Structures are given as C-alpha cells and as structure tokens.
Amino acid sequence: MEFTAEMIAGLLSGTVVGDKNASVHTVSSIEGGKKGALTYLTNPKYEQYVYTTQASIVLVSNDFEPKQELSATLIKLPDVGAAVLQLLEMYNAMKPQKKGISKMASISEKATVAEDCYVGDFAVIEAGAVIESGAKIYPQVYVGDGVKVGAGTTLYAGVKIYEGCRIGKNCIIHAGAVIGADGFGFLPKPDGTFDKIPQLGNVIIEDNVEIGANTCIDRAKTDSTIIRKGVKLDNLIQIGHNVEIGENTVSSAQMGIAGTSKVGRNCFLAGQVGIADHVNIGDFVKIGSKSGIDKDVADGEIRFGYPALPGMNYHRSFAVFKNLPDLQNRVRTLEKSVKTLEEKE
C-alpha cells in the first residue's frame, strides 16, 4: 500500500512542508533511506542525514528548521517518537495474521484450544493444557501438561513451556525460550557427588510480558517463580528458581538472577548484570552493565560495578581507577625525593 504525505499528516495531526502528494510504501532508517521510503529524525546527531537521505518523507519535530536544502518532504509533529510508534503499530496490524490449526500439530484430546487460535506444524500441546482465544502457537512449540496460555499470547517457534506453568494474556515469548525447566538445585554428598533436589513448583507469567529469544525461566522448588505484568526481558537471560520480578521492570540481554531473589517494580537492569541468590532489589532501581549485586538495594538507588557501588561512589572511584598508573609514578617520584632528603640529613 502507498500513503501520501497528506494522508500521513492527517493521521498523525502533523503539518506537511513540501510536496503533499509525495508517497511512500515502506519505512527505513534516515541514513539508508531510498525513494518511496518514510523515515524520521528523533536524535539531533542524525540531522546531517536529513539533507542527504533519498527517503521521500521525513518525520521531524515542530521546532525543526532546515539549515540546508533538502529533497525530502517533511511532516512536522509535536512528538516524533510517539508518531513513529503509532505508525509501526498500524503497519504491524496490517500484516497478514497466522490462522488455523495445522494437521501436523499434535494436540491431546484432553487439551482445550480455542477455535480462533493459530497452531503451527509440529507444535505439541499436552493433556490438560488450555490455549485461550487468539493465541498463536508457532511451529515446534511444546506446551506441557496443564499449561495455560492466555488470550492473545504469542509463542514463537521452538518455545518450550513445561508442565503446570501459567502464561498470561497478550504476552510475547520469542523463539527458543524455555519456561519452567528445573531450578538449579543439588545437595552435595560426602563422597563429592550430588543429590538432585526435586523442583515441584511452576512459573507464573502475568499479562503483557515480553520474553526474548533463548531466555530461560526456571520453575520454583516450591510455590512459583513469578514474572509480574508488563515485564520486558531481552534475549539470553537466566532467571533462577523462586525469583520474583516486579511489574514493568526491564532487563537487557545476558542478565542473570540466582534463586529466591526478588526485583521490584519499574527497575532497569542493563546487560550482563548478575544478581546473587536471596537478594532483594527495591522499586525503581537502576543497575549498570556488568554490575554484580550481592547485597540488598533500596528503592530508587543506582548501582554500578563489581561489586556494585552506589552510582556517585562508583563514578568517583572510576575517576581514580583510570589514573592509577599516573598516580603510581607520582608516588614513586615522591618516594625518591623523600629518600634523597633523608640521605642529606
């Protein structure tokens, strides 16, 4: 489908500067824009590309004033980021939707699957599972005994949901994620071997959660590992048994949380953060990349480093760390000067 600048401006309540009949049929980055593409400027450091892009239409803020000639038609908007999100959501909604239940899927007679669900080739749905209205189960997904998948939830190819777990409504779980594998529990024996501790709980994922590819969330030893509503987890994340993550918390890739720790709501955990077992993280906490947390963190605090320090303490310490070679040389010079003065006495 093609859209003119006039149509897009009307949809977004924007103002056209240039050819109102300029048309687009795709979207692109501003630096890689081609004719027929719609692009946008949200970060001032990319302004240089406004003047060189071949894109037909560029979304810009109301206060943007060109410093050079440009070929693209502009659409001025009060909030470019929000407008881009609106357009992407509309574009995504217009894409063809998966429908129907494949004859090559294996669905237990004791499972309940809503008629309007999509179930792809070689998906397996075990006895007692419930798949609610509008859910999408892509090829090679495994849904174990007694699992519940909420309405509108999407399980992409290769997702594995172990028995007894609960997935809320409108969740997205990306390819290869494993929900409900055994927690890492072993009891050491005098002879150096280990007894496996049975993991008898489950995983509960509430509504509107998104879980990245190849992320693993372990079932609880008893009770439940809980991911509260609105949580967003990136790819390659490990969540241990009996962990609880609060509402609307976000984490980047390769973060790991050991068993029985709790993270509050609206936290941000950057990439490769590690949280030890039995640690409590408060609400609205921010933890910088590669930080290691082995003690509780109060509400609203910021942590960096390993072991993690309060934000300003870390920055002050880092200012010293990077100057250590110079400081070492200065100390050696001072030591020589002191020694020389002592020898003269």
In tens, the pLDDT along 140-155 reads 999 999 999 999 999 9
* Spatial distance between the Cα atoms of 121 and 136, rounded to a whole number of angstroms: 12
Catalytic (active site) residue 241: yes
Q: Give the start-to-end residue ranges of the domains of the chain.
A: 3-94, 106-314
Class of residue 170 by CB neighbours under 10 A (exposed 0-12, middle 13-18, buried 19+): middle
What's the order of all strands across the beta sheet hosting 274-275?
A: 106-107, 124-125, 142-143, 160-161, 178-181, 216-218, 238-239, 256-257, 274-275, 292-293
The percentage of the chain sitting over the pLDDT mark of 90, rounded to a whole number, equals: 83
Give 102's contacts (C-beta < 8 A, 6+ positions apart): 119, 120, 121, 122, 123, 139
Residue 202 host element (H or E): strand 202-205
Q: What is the CATH number of domain 3-94?
A: 3.40.1390.10
pLDDT surpassing 90 at residue 308: no
Decide if 217 contacts 200 (C-beta within 8 A): no
Q: Single out the catalytic residue among 25, 174, 241, 278.
A: 241
Decide if 186 contacts 195 (C-beta within 8 A): yes
Residue 131's φ and ψ, nearest 5 degrees, are -115, 115
pLDDT surpassing 90 at residue 208: yes
pLDDT surpassing 90 at residue 326: no
What's the whole-model pTM score?
0.84
> What letter represents residue 92's amino acid?
N
The percentage of the chain sitting over the pLDDT mark of 70, rounded to a whole number, equals: 100
Q: What is the CATH number of domain 106-314?
A: 2.160.10.10
